[in-house]
Amino acid sequence: MAKTATSIIATRGYQMFPVLETADLERLRRFGEPRSYDAGETLAKAGKLGPGLIVLLAGTVDVSQHHESGNNELIVTHGPGSFLGELSQLDGRPALVDAFAREPVEALIIPAHRLRALLIAEAELGERIMRALILRRVGLLETGSGGPLIIGQPENGDVLRLQGFLTRNGHPHQLLNFDNDGEAKALVDRFKVRSDQLPVVLCPNGELLHNPSENKLARCLGLLMQIDPSRVYDVVIVGAGPAGLATAVYAASEGLSVLVVDCRAFGGQAGASARIENYLGFPTGISGMALMARAYTQAQKFGAEMIIPSEIQGLRAGDGGYAISLSDDQQTSARAVVIASGARYRRLQVKDLDLYESSSVHYWASPLEGQLCAGQEIALVGGGNSAGQAAVYLASKAAKVWLLIRGQSLAASMSRYLVDRISALSNVEVILQSQITALEGKNGILQRVHWRGGTKEEVCRPISHLFLFIGAEPNTDWLSGSGAALDERGFVLTGPAVAGDRPLLETNLQGVFAVGDVRAGSIKRVAAAVGEGAQAVALLHDYLASTAIPR
């Protein structure tokens, strides 16, 4: 494997690939069914649905990364007491690697629903298995093994869009630079793709996609599951940010049937935080992506179903609950609904912004963006905590960070620890009372940014990457026609704001609750959103126990 993954195996290999004792295997038997494989037989194929977690009782199995060149790379050889699988097995998604029996194999097959039951019923053994599944996904993410190949130029806006989608959904992938990668050129020739048709994506199942939408790519990778239109869930949660995932974890762990829908990725705006240091229980801090990935996996462990990316088109009262329509012509029903759709990023009102948004203007500061601006000057607009966290992270990558704020001081809108940290960074310069006045570029690539500060003197800097963290607007357009009450800014009204006896998180539609940033009057913090998600589950239980029909 690549050096990064080898390092993980060297330091945590005993956790990634544990060998279970005889007593452990006996405890697993009630969750699975025995199966035999002949030598050379396929146990798992990248891009194809597998049978579930495969526990080896006898024989050996080679697990390898599939390459289009035909030179497959061995990852690990499993023997008796080992098990095959990673996080894809939690919800029955396609395998990310190939696995072949080196010799006759006796195995125990544990399908996804039985695997989730195992993780809950066998706490200590389940913890070891879950840790291994997570670490194996981490290894695949760092090497790109098991995911699709994106072929194109790294600075291309559509390449960045596709990379961003996969990164934020925790799915491994590799980018082959068409300009200087021999394998990329060979694949382009093989599939008879013209350079003006780039980017293309080669999925593990062999399908070639020409500049696909996120939805089409997700379907090719098996990330989007088909909804059973006849099923009525206890609750549908709209949004997979901190509030939505907290609701999913607590609701699913208490036995409710849960469907979570998000139009983009799990994590919401919290996933954009490079480091969260004021979240309870993480004294050394944690990245927003890591925190949200844990919550996402935790919700899946308890049986919450995820439909990402799929956009909610509408909500209406139906027989015994609510009918929800999705953008991909799917329909579902629920006895109750939790609105956790959060907010969408606010756009800067400056001429020609749209020309550069796909390639040079960013609303997220992840390692992908950090790599793009390494060693360069960048501009970052915003004075809140998200902007502060982004500035600190990007300062470790960029040569210079110009932090532009409208106010007279950072302290007015940013936590003290971030203000102190920014003031200690020699390559971050804060421009107070500032406003961007113009953007210049060529062929969709930003080249210069103009702004005025408190002195009113115009400044122009050679900047190719502009980061915007200027707040957000409620994501509630989809509620049009639902009858849900909104305030003048579009946030969802709940509790006493709609009726004196209404529970704090319930909207004017009984059985419909709102949590997190989308709710009028909410505290815009990750911890507050998580707390509201947990609180909503208690209200859900009360509502579902009293009636299944909205009054």
pLDDT at residue number 435: 95
pLDDT at residue number 388: 94
Amino acid identity, residue 364? Answer: W
3-state secondary structure of 373: coil
Within 222-308, strands assigned E span 232-238, 258-261, 305-307
Instruction: Give the residue ranges of the chain where pLDDT is below 50.
Output: 1-5, 549-551
**Per-residue pLDDT reduced to its tens digit, 476-505:** 999 999 999 999 999 999 999 999 889 999
Q: What is the DSSP letter of 93?
A: P
Length of the chain: 551
Q: What is the DSSP letter of 71?
A: -
DSSP bridge pairs for 236: 259, 337
CB 71: neighbour CB atoms within 10 A? 9
CB 34: neighbour CB atoms within 10 A? 11
pLDDT at residue number 274: 78
Backbone torsion region of residue 194, taken as left when φ is above 0, otherwise alpha when ψ lies between -120 and 50, otherwise beta: beta
Q: Which domains does the chain have, with CATH numbers?
A: 3-142 (2.60.120.10), 149-216 (3.40.30.10), 232-344+473-546 (3.50.50.60), 353-470 (3.50.50.60)
Alpha carbon 50 to chain centroid, angstroms: 23
**Per-residue pLDDT reduced to its tens digit, 239-269:** 999 999 999 999 999 999 999 999 999 999 8
DSSP bridge pairs for 78: 61
**Per-residue pLDDT reduced to its tens digit, 309-365:** 999 999 999 888 999 999 888 999 999 999 999 988 889 999 999 999 989 999 989
The pair of three-digit structure tokens given for residue 201, joined into one six-digit string: 């994506």
Which H or E run includes 52? none
Which H or E run includes 87? none
Strands 53-58, 105-110: parallel, antiparallel or unpaired by DSSP? antiparallel
pLDDT at residue number 436: 97
512 φ/ψ angles, rounded to the nearest 5 degrees: -115, 120
Q: What interhelical angle do 123-143 and 112-121 show, nearest 10?
A: 130
What is the average pLDDT value for the chain, to the nearest integer? 93
Helix intervals (H) in 230-279: 242-253
CB 254: neighbour CB atoms within 10 A? 14
DSSP bridge pairs for 318: 321
| Cβ atoms of 58 and 105 closer than 8 Å | yes
Q: What is the DSSP letter of 506?
A: B
Q: How far apart are CA 84 and CA 66, in angstroms?
A: 16
pLDDT at residue number 366: 86
- Angle CA(452)–CA(454)–CA(459) in degrees, nearest 5? 25
Handedness of CA 116, 122, 123, 124 (dihedral sign): negative
Q: How far apart are CA 111 and CA 61, in angstroms?
A: 19
Q: How far apart are CA 536 and CA 302, in angstroms?
A: 17
CB neighbours of 536 closer than 8 A, spacing ≥ 6?
247, 338, 505, 513, 515
The pair of three-digit structure tokens given for residue 116, joined into one six-digit string: 């989730």
| Cβ atoms of 133 and 89 closer than 8 Å | yes
The pair of three-digit structure tokens given for residue 21, joined into one six-digit string: 């004792």
Q: What is the DSSP letter of 332?
A: E
- Angle CA(389)–CA(351)–CA(439) in degrees, nearest 5? 60
pLDDT at residue number 7: 60
pLDDT at residue number 549: 47
- Check whether the bond before 229 is cis (ω within 30° of 0): no
Q: pTM of the predicted model, to two decimals? A: 0.92
